[in-house]
Amino acid sequence: METAGPGIIFSILVFLAGFSVLVFVHEWGHYIVARIFGVRIDTFSIGMGKEIYGRTDKNGTRWRLSAIPLGGYVKFYGDASAASNPGDIPEGLSEAEKAECFHFKPLWQRSLIVFAGPAINLIAAALVFAFFFMQYGVRISEPVLNSVEPQSPAAVAGLLAGDLILSVNDEEVERFTDMSNIIRLYPGATIDFEIDRQGQIIVIPVELGIKYFEDRFDNRYPYGYLGVRSAPAQRQELGLFGALSEGTRQTVNMADTMFTTLGQMILGLRSVNELGGPGRIANMLGEAASLGFQNFLFMLALLSLNLGIVNLLPIPVLDGGHLVFYGLEAIKGSPLSKKAQEASFIAGAALMLIFMVLVTLNDLQSMAL
């Protein structure tokens, strides 16, 4: 049964609040590590454009809310702009000023400062997942087929009840949910199952089926279908360290899923129409918030994970692009020429613009359906 959505105004307000929290967490990662290494911070901005509110702290950092509530930045002392481009090395600074300037810090410190933003988004996601595991525990079942549905892809391929799944698509599995998560990524594809059948190790290729998950808001998502069931899962209570370990495991698994999905889109194996922009994200956050705070918190954790991963992509203008430049600097022994870096940043900006146009078109198309 279709449920009415939460409303456009509600979704927009929830999106702005939630996205601002994620941006603050990301930029705080850059900020705190930069402070540890003695870098002076000129500006910490939530939002872009004209300042609508701000204050300057005792360290000289201007904390500000800006008019355009999308994105944010930390501007280090010596930066020509908020982008902290590797080629923007200021001239004419005294030794005391160089000691506080980001661009004169050792390469390993600059790399850690840049990496800290995406890293703290991943850490935040892991902590939220750990919070849920502490509350609800974890349900675990071994990757053993308890039953196989007649005429299902599993039955057609020859999988049998009692088979122990060792790996799927060359990925080792430890739990039944590991197998399920991999299968869902490959609707309609043929993938190999390595199984232990009464002590005999065999590999069986299986052509997966395609099913669609439809949520209560009438959104439909394709996923791979095998047609098997596990034995009843055993629920385990988790303490602090167990929950942290499980939260980290969940984060790593979901990050792997996101990278796999992205790779499939690049290779044309998955439609880019599945990508969503601000409109779709706002709708998802609004839907989650309408179902309760815990649903909203879980969705924020997913978005934090996405934000961290996207920023690690090796695209100039993103943190991952900066890290690529630092890697090349480490190999070469000196930074790339300013001209080469500027050309790379223009190409990266163009690529991101194309991406934003694409996801915006996807948003408009989904709203028109």
- How far, in whole angstroms, is CA 60 from its chain's centroid? 33
What is the distance in angstroms between the CA of the first residue and the CA of the last residue of the chain?
Answer: 17
Fill in the amino acid letter for 283: N
- Whether the Cβ atoms of residue 48 and residue 72 lie closer than 8 Å to each other: yes
Enter the tokens of residue 136. 């609800």
User: Residue ranges of the alpha helices (H) in the chain?
Assistant: 8-36, 95-99, 107-136, 153-157, 176-184, 240-266, 278-290, 293-311, 319-332, 338-368
Distance CA 193, CA 242 (A): 30
Residues 6 or more apart from 241 whose CB is under 8 A from it? none
Residues 6+ apart with CB under 8 A from 208: 153, 183, 186, 187, 188, 189, 190, 191, 224, 225, 226
Q: Which of 27, 194, 246, 287 is catalytic?
A: 27
Q: Determine the Cα–Cα distance for residues 277 and 355; give it in Å rounded to an integer.
A: 9
Gap between the Cα atoms of 243 and 127, Å rounded: 9
Beta bridge partners of 139: 235
Spell out the residues 6+ positions from residue 92 whose beta carbon is closer than 8 angstroms to its own.
none
Do 64 and 45 form a contact (C-beta atoms < 8 A)? yes
Tell me if residue 27 is catalytic.
Answer: yes
306: which 2 tokens? 């996405």
Q: Each residue of 241-251: b (16+ CB within 10 Å) or e?
A: ebbbebbbbbb
- Residue 330's Cβ-side half-sphere holds a number of Cα atoms within 13 Å equal to 12
Q: How do beta strands 164-168 and 190-197 pair?
A: antiparallel
Catalogue the active-site residues: 27
